[in-house]
Amino acid sequence: MILIVGPFTSRPPFRIMATPQTKTSKLLEMANKGHIRARDLDDAGIPRAYLRRLSDRGLLEQVDRGLYRLADSRVTELHSVAQVAARVPRATVCLLSALQLHQLGTEAPYAVWIMIDRKARMPKLDRTKVEVVRASGEARSHGVERREVEGIEIKLTTPAKTVADCFRYRKHVGLDVALAALRDYLRKRRGGINALVAAAKADRVYPLMRPYLEALA
């Protein structure tokens, strides 16, 4: 007996169609990573009206002009630092705020301290108090590290640069704060002496710091 098998009928492969991501879900996904700015929506192709729409629905909350976050997001003690970094990304967190981040001294800053270029425009924030100092050249570029706070990348002066800045801007924070920061830096070994000397020279305060450093080291 001969069995004749006919030609197989081929069918196109089955395709799983992905559900297109809505603008709302895309915006919430962005907010889940940290604070979002109104201008961030432009690159994502989302109309800025969605910020107000989701705020009205209680999904987002406005924390400053043009700055939003998830309404139920966790708030840390450094929440204000994250807000300022998101609004003024070119600024460097410094002085009392940097001391707090590095756990140096005992100061509890009433504002977020930032350093900006001498020619930069003064930042305007509606709901967050800031204290601004200006610098240029090595005094601005030396000793800067990056850290993430509440999903926002911030620029922050290193422990050594923070201590040197306290001497440089002693009229703003007080010499007692600078000395306490120096003692804590040496006691907690937040960095080496060489890093501290290099930062002091970048800030042009080494002659001022040297007697204190020799007495405490």
What is residue 75's predicted lDDT score, i.e. its pLDDT?
A: 59
Per-residue pLDDT at 144: 97
Written as tens digits, the pLDDT of the chain (217 aa) is 444 444 544 455 444 443 456 878 877 777 776 677 777 777 778 887 877 887 777 777 777 677 777 777 665 678 889 889 988 999 999 999 999 999 998 888 889 999 999 999 998 887 788 999 999 999 999 999 999 888 789 999 999 999 999 999 999 999 999 999 999 999 988 889 999 999 999 999 999 999 999 998 7
At 153, is the secondary structure helix, strand, or coil? strand
The confidence score (pLDDT) of residue 17 equals: 42
Based on the domain organization, do 170 and 209 belong to the same domain? yes
What is the C-alpha to C-alpha distance for residues 207 and 142, in angstroms, rounded to an integer?
18
Claim to verify: residue 42 and residue 105 sit in the same structural domain: no
User: Quick one: 91 and 151 in the same domain?
Assistant: yes
Residue 65 is classified by DSSP as T
Could you give the number of structural domains in the chain? Answer: 2
Model pTM score: 0.70
Residues 138 and 184 in one domain: yes
Phi-psi region of 108 (alpha: psi -120 to 50; beta: other; left: phi over 0): beta
Q: What share of the chain is helix, strand, coil (3-state, %, to 5)?
A: 45, 15, 40
Same domain, 191 and 125: yes
Out of 43, 70, 97, pick the residue that ends a domain. Answer: 70
Provide the pLDDT for residue 36.
Answer: 75
* 18, part of any domain: no
Task: Find the domain containing 130 and state its range.
Answer: 79-216
pLDDT score of 15:
47
